[in-house]
């Protein structure tokens, strides 16, 4: 019997090629898009879970009161790790990691910059790293050792085994390669290219050895013993900072699951509020939504062909076929088409997945060897086939054989209403996407156009490496004389990524407890304000002709407001352990997150914390000419390091990279949803025209024109789209409002977006329905009435 069902199903597919191709194409398109979205979701969901001990791995966080709120950060003191390992029996192992930085690694005539971290050797026992050469058990025991990832080792040594070779690290420290490990997988939070032991880190900066508990600059990871719980440990370590450093007794520590950091790594006021999980949920919703409207499209197109199948159903019932058998036959047809759609969807996924991966900005690959992926694909195919074929099967099998054999085709509101509801659902989904896409792009444009307080155009930044520490002024002079730049300054960090903050600052009129308020700080040298073209509202810039300016500070307006300084110029504040005179005030400028409000900032000289150079390109010269000239001058003073720079406006733009990806994906899926929804609308219009062909003929006999009939047939679909717009607008307003609320600086909900969406939806509806409506109106009424 199964074989007979398959043969019959295949015959019907071949007999109705056009309808079958549209149905299979719609399902294949929906399935392909869903597969790609689900592969992205799977990748995000699997982050950091490949470590065998992942269920026992945690990272230490701190909650710190700040201006009536709680700031949650992962930076911890260097001394914390030893105390956790020694005093807490629940802890099996602990490891410290510093913040990754790019360092020059050289071997003979090869020199490249590698993103490097310093770690405790215990990290290799806590986390899983595939060792290619050497041994991870002893690789970091030697303070003068280094571990390279496979790609780093290949870039320096080629295909040879580099274990035992000595490289020059940071252009001065000889380190022996003790191991080569595989590159971190794409679904890993670790992105380093080289690893050095913590002892080497301390040897390169001996003053760090005597650091106190008040320097929060390092990450601490914990491996709990089997059976130990995070709740127990959190209860014990909460007040640990205060026990060792009384001034910071308000800081509370807690451990957080390592495998949750990627998806649930955002905190507000000390409470976890999610993170990247919002994008995973959105993509999962899109995958289900696209697949669902593809199924709805299948239902509408299948039932639109119901008149052609009515006589077949009548004959089968007349010769004894039961309803269950007919349902099985029609479900078999839909399953067969779903299998065909799976084959097409697989090909589409393989072809377009690299494009999709590029759009989402993730190095994704299809896991061909993962049998769960194939199992999921087959399961989705079966569910899709059954879901898409369920309504047509129930509808077609319900025909009364006597009526259909007499030519009295089933109709009425009971059969039309379900299809109308499905079209409303389709267009509701499409309208939600249209409105969401519009507001995503408004938000991106809003942020891109936000005044940042400095001129980011024509500005480049580069790390200050090697000889540039001592040769900067000569480099700057030569670059200005060559006409490549107009000015340059040494800074602590790129202005788009400032993260430094200082505590224990004091100022006149300070209230008790305010000295514990962390204030962001920006380390600079002379020429900074002119190079970045900040606006001075009070006082002046740092002048090299005044040596005392190297101990002075400039505040932004937010800092003046925080300190309640009526006349800030000339006031003395204590910053970085020394008294500093305020010589200037600048307008607030944006750095770090472009979505956050401007924070109070102290700008001053921080000799040991400068790591970058900002250069203002000469607007009178071409960018290419200026960069070529700069490279030549740079190599003159720093020949061993690469000329590595980045445009500040591009760095700023990258800050809303995720939102750009979201906007691009939303537009693509909006177009896709509209196309599929239109197919469903065409299907319903075709069905409606077939159902009402005699009514249309009678109206024509009574004098109705083609335009009258077109308006009559189109109005009901316009009403459906309007209902979908009302529902979709309400859902979108809630969702978009919630999404925008996560940003302190965001666009507003504009009513014109909703009005334009309604107009667009109605135009799409009219375009999709008009062809069928006009076609039905132009049929000769004699053809439809002769049977009467």
As a three-state string, the secondary structure of 432-498 is HHHHHHHHHHHHHHHHHCCCCCCCCCCEEEEECCCCHHHHHHHHHHHHHHCCCEEEEEEECCCHHHC
Sign of CA dihedral 621, 626, 628, 632: positive
pLDDT of 346: 93
Specify the range with the lowest mean pLDDT, choosing from 73-87, 165-179, 320-334: 320-334
pLDDT of 714: 77
- Integer angstrom CA distances of residue 328 from 27, 302, 380, 399, 438: 20, 15, 19, 15, 44
Question: Rounded CA gap, 174 and 107, in Å?
Answer: 10
pLDDT of 388: 77
- Which tokens go with 80? 């914390």
Question: Rounded CA gap, 22 and 20, in Å?
Answer: 5
| φ, ψ at 359 (rounded to 5°) | -65, -40
Residue given tokens 């078999």 in the structure block: 332
Residue given tokens 């105390």 in the structure block: 83
Percent of the chain with pLDDT over 70: 88
Which of 11-15, 83-87, 278-282 holds the top average pLDDT? 83-87
Residue of 525, 588, 596 lying closest to 560 (CA atoms): 588
Which of 15-24, 64-73, 100-109 holds the top average pLDDT? 100-109
Question: Rounded CA gap, 628 and 643, in Å?
Answer: 10
- DSSP H helices, 305-412, are 306-318, 323-360, 371-396, 401-405
Residue of 150, 206, 204, 205 lying closest to 177 (CA atoms): 150
∠ CA(456), CA(459), CA(464), 5° rounding? 125
Residue of 7 and 432 predicted with greater confidence:
432
pLDDT digits (tens, 9 = 90+) for 451-494: 889 999 999 999 998 888 889 999 999 999 999 999 999 998 88
Instruction: For the chain, give the number of residues.
Output: 788
Residue of 392 and 446 predicted with greater confidence:
446
Residue of 622 and 417 predicted with greater confidence:
622
Evaluate whether 48 touches 188 at the Cβ level (below 8 Å).
yes
State the average pLDDT over residues 664-692.
75
- Which tokens go with 270? 């000390």
Question: Rounded CA gap, 324 and 518, in Å?
Answer: 72
pLDDT digits (tens, 9 = 90+) for 46-75: 999 999 999 999 999 999 887 678 889 999
- Which tokens go with 87? 């005093």
Q: How far apart are the first and last CA of the chain?
A: 40
pLDDT digits (tens, 9 = 90+) for 201-219: 888 877 777 788 888 889 9
pLDDT band at 322 (very low <50, low <70, confident <90, very high): low
Quote the DSSP letter at residue 600: P
- DSSP H helices, 46-172, are 80-87, 123-126, 150-157
pLDDT digits (tens, 9 = 90+) for 715-770: 878 888 899 999 999 999 998 998 888 777 888 888 888 998 898 888 888 887 77
Question: Rounded CA gap, 36 and 42, in Å?
Answer: 10
- Which tokens go with 62? 């701190």
Question: Rounded CA gap, 601 and 571, in Å?
Answer: 16
State the average pLDDT over residues 543-556.
90
pLDDT of 648: 92
pLDDT of 3: 64
Question: Rounded CA gap, 524 and 553, in Å?
Answer: 10
- Which tokens go with 670? 């909006």
| φ, ψ at 726 (rounded to 5°) | -60, -50
- DSSP H helices, 46-158, are 80-87, 123-126, 150-157
Question: Rounded CA gap, 237 and 221, in Å?
Answer: 14
CB atoms within 10 A of CB 191: 12
pLDDT digits (tens, 9 = 90+) for 126-181: 999 999 999 888 899 999 999 999 999 999 999 999 999 999 998 889 999 999 99
pLDDT band at 521 (very low <50, low <70, confident <90, very high): confident
Question: Rounded CA gap, 263 and 54, in Å?
Answer: 15
pLDDT of 333: 78
Percent of the chain with pLDDT over 90: 40
User: For the chain, how big is the Rg over CA atoms in Å?
Assistant: 34
Question: Rounded CA gap, 71 and 65, in Å?
Answer: 6
**193 CA to centre of own chain:** 23
Q: Residue 577: helix, strand or coil by DSSP?
A: coil
pLDDT of 658: 76
**Within 13 Å, how many C-alpha atoms sit on residue 535's CB side?**
11
Question: Rounded CA gap, 669 and 663, in Å?
Answer: 10
pLDDT band at 433 (very low <50, low <70, confident <90, very high): confident
- DSSP H helices, 489-598, are 528-532, 557-563
As a three-state string, the secondary structure of 16-33 is CHHHHHHHHHHHHHHHHH
- Which tokens go with 354? 């690299």
Residue of 412 and 479 predicted with greater confidence:
479
pTM, to two decimals:
0.81
Question: Rounded CA gap, 533 and 301, in Å?
Answer: 62
pLDDT digits (tens, 9 = 90+) for 366-387: 888 888 888 888 888 888 888 8
| φ, ψ at 187 (rounded to 5°) | -95, 45
| φ, ψ at 168 (rounded to 5°) | -100, 120
**pLDDT > 80? residue 8:** no
CB atoms within 10 A of CB 590: 23
**pLDDT > 90? residue 705:** no
Residue of 721, 46, 620 lying closest to 372 (CA atoms): 46
**pLDDT > 60? residue 583:** yes
pLDDT of 294: 83
State the average pLDDT over residues 187-196.
95
Please give the mean pLDDT across all residues of the chain: 85
**Within 13 Å, how many C-alpha atoms sit on residue 534's CB side?**
25
Evaluate whether 617 touches 484 at the Cβ level (below 8 Å).
yes
Domain ranges in the chain? 1-47+288-410, 54-261, 459-654
């Amino acid at each position: 019997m199964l074989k007979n069902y398959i043969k019959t199903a295949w015959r019907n597919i071949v007999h109705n090629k056009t309808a079958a191709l549209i149905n299979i194409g719609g399902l294949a398109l929906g399935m392909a898009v869903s597969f790609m979205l689900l592969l992205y979701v799977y990748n995000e969901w699997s982050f950091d879970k490949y470590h065998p001990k992942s269920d026992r791995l945690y990272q230490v966080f701190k909650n710190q009161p700040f201006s009536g709120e709680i700031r949650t950060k992962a930076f911890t003191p260097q001394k914390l790790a030893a105390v956790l390992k020694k005093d807490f029996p629940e802890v099996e192992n602990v490891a410290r990691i510093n913040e990754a930085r790019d360092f020059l690694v050289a071997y003979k005539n090869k020199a490249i910059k590698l993103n490097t971290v310093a770690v405790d050797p215990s990290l290799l026992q806590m986390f899983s790293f595939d060792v290619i050469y050497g041994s991870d058990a002893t690789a970091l025991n030697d303070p003068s050792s280094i571990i390279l990832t496979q790609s780093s080792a290949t870039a320096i040594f080629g295909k040879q085994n580099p274990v035992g070779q000595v490289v020059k690290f940071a252009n001065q420290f000889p380190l022996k390669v003790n191991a080569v490990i595989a590159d971190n997988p794409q679904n890993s939070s670790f992105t380093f290219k080289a690893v050095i032991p913590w002892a080497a880190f301390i040897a390169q900066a001996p003053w760090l050895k005597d650091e106190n508990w008040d320097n929060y600059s390092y990450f601490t990871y914990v491996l709990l013993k089997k059976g130990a719980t995070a709740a127990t440990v959190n209860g014990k370590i909460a007040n640990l900072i205060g026990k060792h450093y009384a001034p910071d007794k308000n800081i509370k520590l807690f451990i957080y699951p390592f495998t949750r950091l990627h998806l649930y790594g955002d905190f507000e006021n000390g409470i976890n509020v999610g993170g990247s999980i919002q994008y995973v949920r959105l993509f999962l919703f899109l995958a289900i939504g696209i697949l669902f409207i593809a199924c709805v499209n299948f239902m509408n197109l299948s039932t639109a062909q119901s008149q052609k199948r009515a006589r077949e159903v009548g004959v089968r019932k007349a010769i004894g076929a039961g309803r269950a058998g007919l349902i099985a036959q029609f479900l078999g047809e839909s399953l067969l088409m779903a299998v065909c759609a799976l084959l097409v969807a697989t090909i589409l996924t393989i072809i377009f997945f690299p494009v999709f991966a590029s759009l989402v900005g993730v190095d994704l690959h299809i896991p061909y060897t993962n049998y769960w992926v194939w199992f999921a694909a087959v399961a989705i195919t079966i569910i899709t086939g059954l879901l898409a074929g369920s309504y047509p099967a129930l509808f077609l099998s319900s025909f009364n054989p006597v009526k259909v054999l007499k030519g009295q085709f089933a109709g009425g509101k009971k059969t039309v209403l379900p299809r109308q509801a499905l079209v409303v659902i389709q267009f509701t989904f499409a309208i939600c996407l249209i409105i969401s896409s519009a507001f995503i792009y408004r938000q991106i444009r809003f942020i891109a156009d936000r005044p940042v307080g400095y001129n980011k155009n024509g500005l480049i930044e580069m790390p200050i490496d090697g000889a540039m520490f001592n040769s900067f002024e000569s480099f700057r002079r030569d670059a200005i004389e060559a006409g490549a730049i107009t000015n340059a300054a040494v800074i602590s960090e790129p202005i788009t990524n400032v993260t430094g903050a200082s505590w224990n600052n004091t100022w006149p009129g300070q209230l008790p407890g305010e000295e514990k308020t962390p204030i962001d700080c920006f380390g600079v040298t002379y020429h900074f304000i002119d190079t970045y073209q900040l606006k001075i509202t009070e006082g002046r810039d740092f002048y090299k002709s005044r040596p005392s300016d190297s101990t002075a500070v400039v505040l932004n307006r937010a800092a003046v407001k925080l300190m309640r300084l009526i006349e800030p110029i000339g006031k003395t504040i204590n910053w970085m352990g020394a008294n500093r005179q305020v010589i200037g005030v600048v307008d607030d400028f944006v750095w770090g997150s472009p979505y956050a409000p401007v924070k109070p900032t102290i700008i001053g000289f921080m000799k040991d914390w400068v790591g970058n150079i900002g250069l203002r390109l000469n607007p009178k010269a071409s960018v290419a000419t200026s960069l070529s000239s700069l490279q030549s001058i740079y190599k003159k003073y720093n020949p061993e390091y690469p000329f590595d720079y980045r445009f500040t406006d591009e760095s700023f733009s990258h800050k809303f990279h995720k939102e750009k990806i979201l906007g691009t994906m939303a537009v693509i899926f909006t177009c896709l949803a509209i196309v599929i929804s239109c197919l469903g609308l065409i299907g319903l219009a075709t069905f409606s025209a077939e159902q009402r062909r005699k009514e249309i003929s009678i109206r024509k006999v009574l004098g109705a024109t083609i335009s009258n009939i077109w308006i009559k047939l189109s109005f009901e679909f316009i009403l459906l789209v309007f209902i979908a717009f009302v529902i979709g607008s309400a859902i979108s307003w809630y969702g978009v409002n919630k999404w925008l609320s996560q940003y302190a600086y965001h666009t507003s909900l504009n009513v014109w977006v909703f009005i334009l969406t309604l107009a667009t939806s109605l135009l799409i509806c009219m375009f999709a329905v008009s062809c069928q409506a006009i076609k039905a109106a132009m049929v000769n009424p004699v053809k439809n009435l002769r049977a009467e």
